[in-house]
Amino acid sequence: MIRVVFFIVGFIAVTIQLLFLPIPEQTQYYLFFTGILLLGIPHGAADLLVAGRTAKEEKKSFSKLRFLVVYISMLAAFGVLLWFFPLVGGILFILLSAYHFGETDLNFVNVSSIFGKLLITSYGILIISIILLSHFDEVELLLQPFNVMQKNKLFVDWLVEKRYYLMSFSVMLFFTSLFLYLFKNGASVFSGKDRFLIGFASMVFILFNLPLLLGFTFYFVAWHSLFSLKNIVEYLRKNESISPMLIAQKMFLYSSIAIGGIAIFGVASCFFFTGGSLVIYPFLGLAVLTAPHMMVMHDMYNRIRISNL
C-alpha cells in the first residue's frame, strides 16, 4: 500500500512538472533538506544498532568503540579517495550505491551467486543512471565549484555525448541480468511479486521526468530511506521485545550526533570549496558514508535472507 501511495505522489509530481508549472527550486530544496533530516540521516544513523544486532545474531562479541573506530576509518579513507582521486572515488561511489540500492529494493534476491550480485547491481546502476545522466546538465552545475568537470573534461564530454546510449545499455544490462537470474533460479523466485516490473517501470518513468534534486529526493531520501527504516525496525525487533519507541529514541540520539558531524563536515568543506549550492554538501556527506553504511546493511540483509530460508 505504501508503495502505491509513493507512485501516486510521484505521478502527481510529474504531471505538475510537465503539464502545469515546474515545481519551484526553493520547494525542491525544502523537500530535500526536510527529507534528509527526517528520513535520510536516521536510516544511516541506525548502523550502530544494526551492527550490534547482527553481532548478536552471529553470536559474536560487539564493542561500540571498535565499531566506531572501524566505521570512521572507512569514512575517512573514502573521503581521502574522493579528495585526491575524485573520478575513481566517484565511480566507486556509484558502484557501491548501485549494489546497496539493489540489495534494498530486491532484498528477496539471493546474492550468493554471481547472477544475484549482477542483478541487484544492474538494478541500482539503472536507477542511478536515470537520475544522473538524464539530468546531467544539473549535475555539472552542482560539481562546478570542485573543478572535477574541468580536470576530467574529456571524460565529461564523452558522458554528455553518450549518456543516452549509456542509459539504454543500463536497461539492457538489467533485463539481461534478470533473464539470467530467472533462468538459473526459476520464475518462482518472483512468486507473489508479479507487480515488480510495473513498479519498476513506474519508478524509471518518474525519475526520468522529475528534475535531478526532486528525483533524488523521491528515490533516495523518501523511497530508499523509508523502506530501509522499515527493514531495520523489523530486523531489530525480530525475536526481541524491543518497543518501537525505544528504537525511535536511540535513532533520534544517533541522528542528532550524525547531524552534528555533518554540520562540522559542511563548515570544514567551506574552507576548501567556495560557491555552489548548499545541496552539494549533503551529497558529499552521503558519498563518504556509502562504504561503511553499505557494509553494515549488507550484513543485515544477509542475516534476513538466512532467517528466511
The model's pLDDT over 211-224, given as tens digits with 9 standing for 90+, comes to 998 999 999 888 99
Q: What pLDDT is stored for residue 190 in this prediction?
A: 64
Mean pLDDT of the chain: 82
Residue 179 CA to residue 177 CA, distance in Å, equals 5
Quick check: 70 pLDDT over 80?
yes
Quick check: 34 pLDDT over 90?
no
Q: What pLDDT is stored for residue 195 in this prediction?
A: 74
User: SS3 string of the chain?
Assistant: CHHHHHHHHHHHHHHHHHHCCCCCHHHHHHHHHHHHHHHHHHHHHCHHHHHHHHHHHCCCCCCHHHHHHHHHHHHHHHHHHHHHCHHHHHHHHHHHHHHHHHHHHCCCCCCCCHHHHHHHHHHHHHHHHHHHHCCHHHHHHHHHHHCHHHHCHHHHHHHHHHHHHHHHHHHHHHHHHHHHHHHHHCHHHHCCCCCHHHHHHHHHHHHHHCCHHHHHHHHHHHHHHHHHHHHHHHHHHCCCCCCHHHHHHHHHHHHHHHHHHHHHHHHHHHHHCCCCCCCHHHHHHHHHHHHHHHHHHHHHHHHHHHHHC
Q: What pLDDT is stored for residue 272 in this prediction?
A: 54
Q: How confident is the model at residue 76 (pLDDT cuts 50, 70, 90)?
A: confident
Is 229 domain-assigned? Answer: yes
Task: Count CB atoms within 10 A of the CB of residue 131.
Answer: 20
Is 31 domain-assigned? Answer: no
Residue 23 CA to residue 212 CA, distance in Å, equals 12
Q: What pLDDT is stored for residue 266 in this prediction?
A: 58
Quick check: 126 pLDDT over 90?
yes
Q: What pLDDT is stored for residue 171 in this prediction?
A: 92
Is 263 domain-assigned? Answer: yes
Range of the domain at 143: 2-20+37-308
Is 175 domain-assigned? Answer: yes
Stretch 41-47: mean pLDDT, rounded? 83
Q: What Å distances lie between residue 37 and 40, 44, 187, 270, CA to CA?
A: 6, 11, 39, 21
Quick check: 206 pLDDT over 80?
yes
pLDDT digits (tens, 9 = 90+) for 232-273: 888 888 766 677 777 777 777 777 777 766 666 655 555 555
Number of folded domains that form the chain: 1
Distance of CA 217 to the CA centre of its chain: 10
Residue 143 CA to residue 132 CA, distance in Å, equals 12
Is 32 domain-assigned? Answer: no
Contact (CB, 8 A) for 117 and 111? yes
Stretch 222-233: mean pLDDT, rounded? 88
Quick check: 274 pLDDT over 70?
no
Task: Count CB atoms within 10 A of the CB of residue 208.
Answer: 15
pLDDT digits (tens, 9 = 90+) for 151-202: 777 877 888 888 899 999 999 999 999 989 888 877 666 665 557 788 888 9
Is 97 domain-assigned? Answer: yes
More confident residue, 278 or 139: 139
More confident residue, 269 or 125: 125
Stretch 131-135: mean pLDDT, rounded? 90
Is 27 domain-assigned? Answer: no
Q: Which three cell numbers stand for residue 294?
A: 553499505
Q: How confident is the model at residue 143 (pLDDT cuts 50, 70, 90)?
A: confident
Is 30 domain-assigned? Answer: no
Q: How confident is the model at residue 113 (pLDDT cuts 50, 70, 90)?
A: confident
Residue 262 CA to residue 255 CA, distance in Å, equals 10
Q: What pLDDT is stored for residue 247 in this prediction?
A: 77
